[in-house]
Chains A and B, each alone.
Chain A
Amino acid sequence: MRNKDQGPGIKEQDTERVKKLLQSAVPPVSDGLEAQRDLWPAMLRRLDEQSSHGMTSVPWFDWALGGALLAFAAMAPRTIPVILFYL
């Protein structure tokens, strides 16, 4: 391996050259690119979407529990008043 033959000084020079090459190939983002528009309206839309989604969505566990209750009531109709009593 070529790298094993190199001294630490040469390796460091190599590293510095790769860093320079990278800085040349991928220039830093200039401050001009930081000119920004107000994102609060978009943020607010995201919050609204999520809160309305949160109200309408039902967790899978609730669906499973409801299904189990219905199945149980179908198998033993006489228990329906008891289930209703505890709801």
Chain B
Amino acid sequence: MRDDAPSVLSRFQQGDVDAFETLFRMHQRAVQGWVMRIVREPSAAEDVTIEAFWRMHQSHARFDPERGFEPWARRIATHAAMDWLRRQKPETGMDSEQWNTVAASAESDPALTAEIRTRTAQAFFRLPAKLRIAALLAIVEEQPHKEVADALGISVGAVKLRVFRAIRLLRRDLSEQGIKP
């Protein structure tokens, strides 16, 4: 958690653009890194980061300086990223270069064929956005459930439920394709 000066937070809440710039520069890296974990595409991460900060600027009056900037920023960024995911067609969730990266990932289990990995990733990107985002953050990025819950603005129990539903749907989709995990 960053130590934002209380005066900067208060000035931001009152709509001061200089305070907004200070907070933007302090938090851009963290917000963009978080967004990147969700959208997984550098240019989209930039667009979503700007959109997220734009939303923060628009809702500055609702910001509570007592509760800190970073959790609030992360929650807004998560919702901006979720909106971006919802706008993507499942087939275009990743471009061909990214699919190749998935297939040839050095970190992947060598026992799995590239085709199975690709079909698993495709099945995963067909999941509803709100399930996918929970599974991405909790399973793929291995973020603590509490952090995922705070970012999504839901309870830890709801995160676990979404992850469970994502896994169940993924397993069903893979089974229909003849892939038995």
Please state if B24 and A40 are interface contacts (CB–CB under 8 Å). Answer: yes
Assembled-state Cα–Cα distance A31/B29 (Å): 11
How many B residues are at the interface, by size bracket? 35 or more
From A22, A24, A33, A39, contact of B50 by CB (8 A)? A39
Contact of A27 with B by CB under 8 A = yes
From A22, A29, A50, contact of B135 by CB (8 A)? A22
Assembled-state Cα–Cα distance A79/B28 (Å): 58
Chain A residues within an 8 Å CB radius of B53: 39, 43
Contact of A84 with B by CB under 8 A = no
> Which residue of chain B has the shortest Cβ distance to A47 in the bound complex?
B57
Please state if B141 and A25 are interface contacts (CB–CB under 8 Å). Answer: no
Q: Least Cβ distance of A18 to chain B in Å?
A: 5
Chain A residues within an 8 Å CB radius of B25: 40
Contact of A34 with B by CB under 8 A = yes
Q: A25-B120, A27-B105 are in contact. Are A36 and B29 (CB under 8 A)?
A: yes
Please state if A24 and B117 are interface contacts (CB–CB under 8 Å). Answer: yes
> Which residue of chain B has the shortest Cβ distance to A44 in the bound complex?
B21
Chain B residues within an 8 Å CB radius of A21: 112, 116, 120, 174, 181
Contact of B12 with A by CB under 8 A = no
Please state if B29 and A29 are interface contacts (CB–CB under 8 Å). Answer: no
What string of 1s and 0s marks CB contacts (under 8 Å) between A39-58 and chain B?
Answer: 11011001100100000000
Chain B residues within an 8 Å CB radius of A36: 28-29, 32-33, 46
What string of 1s and 0s marks CB contacts (under 8 Å) between A47-82 and chain B?
Answer: 100100000000000000000000000000000000
> Which residue of chain A has the shortest Cβ distance to B38 in the bound complex?
A29
Q: A21-B112, A40-B25 are in contact. Are A29 and B57 (CB under 8 A)?
A: no
Interface residues of B, Cβ cutoff 8 Å to A: 17, 21, 24-25, 28-29, 32-33, 36-37, 40, 42, 46, 49-50, 53-54, 57, 102, 105, 107-109, 112, 116-118, 120-121, 124, 135-136, 139-142, 164, 167, 170-171, 174, 181
Interface residues of A, Cβ cutoff 8 Å to B: 14-15, 17-29, 31, 33-34, 36-40, 42-43, 46-47, 50
A25-B116, A34-B36 known, 12 other contacts, Cβ within 8 Å:
A19-B139, A21-B116, A25-B120, A27-B105, A27-B107, A27-B108, A29-B40, A33-B36, A34-B33, A39-B50, A39-B53, A40-B28
